[in-house]
Amino acid sequence: MKPFKVAVLGCGTVGGGVARIMLERKEALALSAGRPVELAALVDLFPVRSAARHGLPIGLFGGESDLSGAQAAARTDAILADPEIDLVVETMGGTSDYVRGVCERVLAAGKHLATANKALLAERGDELFAAADKAGKALGFEAAVCGAIPVIRVVKEGFAGDEVLSISGIMNGTSNYILSKMTAEGIGFDEALKLAQEKGYAEADPTLDVGGGDAGHKLSILVRLAFGLAGANRTLAVSGVSDVTKADLRVAAEMDCAIKLICHAQRSGDIVYASVGPMMVKRSNFLSRIDGATNAVRAMNRYSGEHILVGKGAGSLETGSAIVADIVSIARYGERIVNPAARPGPQLRNMDELPFPYTVLFDTADVPGITGLVTTAIGDQGINIDTVGHNMHSGEAAVFAVETMPCTRSSILKAIAVIRAHRADIFRAEPKIFPVLY
């Protein structure tokens, strides 16, 4: 049978992992695909360095000389024009016009595409899926969400006979590592971030991770897959973990919770509520016990109930294995693979509009009657209170938490405004509002 030939554009961390797995498991991949699967070409600006780093034959790079941008583009053009290449793996990363254009040209050239580029799929996925459909080719993107965890395949294929009601998960290992360190060692955010950078879990500029943007890209892709929502990334509400303090974590522990950066989406009728941000996760919820750089996804389905997937969300071989899984699937099924389509009907709304339980952390002056003032103002907004935490006195300060039954965030904000109108002088800091995930 004719070999299925693959070219990889970009031989960094992920691209190198793809190439290494393809070479090491060549015979096994052929058995799984039902035909030989061959790595035919690699494109990278620094072939000698990349070959040495990943243990790859230099011949796959087409030469030993470092390439200029123009030379790399020319080699890419040659691959796109080669009728023998069946699939192209894009691991260059980023959302530049060049990268987007290369992906569109791959499909237009009649080749399948596999990518781990979550940002590109979140921001320009509509155009890429349309291009894949027009070309009649498959777009593999298993590695774009949670690395080695097969969440895309599970939602797309495993849940095909079911209806996803909600998805929640820890989808950014950097933020989870930082929060885990803060909780376990009682350190602050800055110190935990430094440890994450020393371990290689955080970039020199960690904004995309700690600001929630990376997790937002992943949730956007899952929202499209599970609920048929196109363009979700453009309206998804995202916040990060940089404002979480040691005091917040102590209060969370008292409320039998752990603070985690949670991606959450749930459908109610024709509305999908979704957001990314720090949540207080009850200890009864499995996600509260996911520590370190591990990722986890929890799906609740109409017929089959709860499903939990846990694994490594990043890494050269981990993410590379997910791309290779796409390669094998496409080699076996090719044009019969159906790309996920947006469906008419569902609308995306911010989680703030959905009645949800909340924990509100108050940091006030330690004055008599403060707890009563706060709880009365909350109750006057028609909000039922579930629990009032202990008042943690520290000098002239009082820190305590109020956990509510499901309500809207706007109702809580109204209650805070009433408190401020009566006693503006008592607030030492703006109250923090955390959704509670059971």
Say if strands 271-282 and 432-437 run parallel, antiparallel, or are unpaired: parallel
Closest to 137 measured CA to CA, from 108, 157, 115, 160: 108
What HEC string does the chain produce? Answer: CCCEEEEEECCCHHHHHHHHHHHHCHHHHHHHHCCCEEEEEEECCCHHHHHHHHCCCHHHHCCCCCCCHHHHHHHHHHHHHCCCCCEEEECCCCCCHHHHHHHHHHHHCCCEEEECCHHHHHHHHHHHHHHHHHHCCCEECHHHCCCCCCHHHHHHHHCCCCCEEEEEEECCHHHHHHHHHHHHHCCCHHHHHHHHHHHCCCCCCCHHHHCCHHHHHHHHHHHHHHHCCCCHHHCCEECCCCCCCHHHHHHHHHCCEEEEEEEEEEEECCEEEEEEEEEEEECCCHHHHCCCCEEEEEEEECCCEEEEEEEECCCHHHHHHHHHHHHHHHHHHHHHCCCCCCCCCCEEEEHHHCCECEEEEEEEECCCCHHHHHHHHHHHCCCCEEEECCCEEECCEEEEEEEECCECHHHHHHHHHHHHHHHHHHECCCCEEEEEEC
Catalytic residue among 156, 218, 260, 312: 218
Tokens of 34: 């039902």
Q: State how far the Cα of 365 lies from the Cα of 400, in Å rounded to an integer.
A: 11
Q: State how far the Cα of 123 lies from the Cα of 108, in Å rounded to an integer.
A: 20
Q: State how far the Cα of 397 lies from the Cα of 395, in Å rounded to an integer.
A: 6
Q: Are 35 and 331 in contact (CB under 8 A)?
A: yes
Task: Using alpha carbons, list the distances in angstroms from residue 264 to 167, 282, 351.
Answer: 6, 15, 8
| Annotation marks residue 181 as catalytic | no
Q: Enumerate the active-site residues.
A: 218
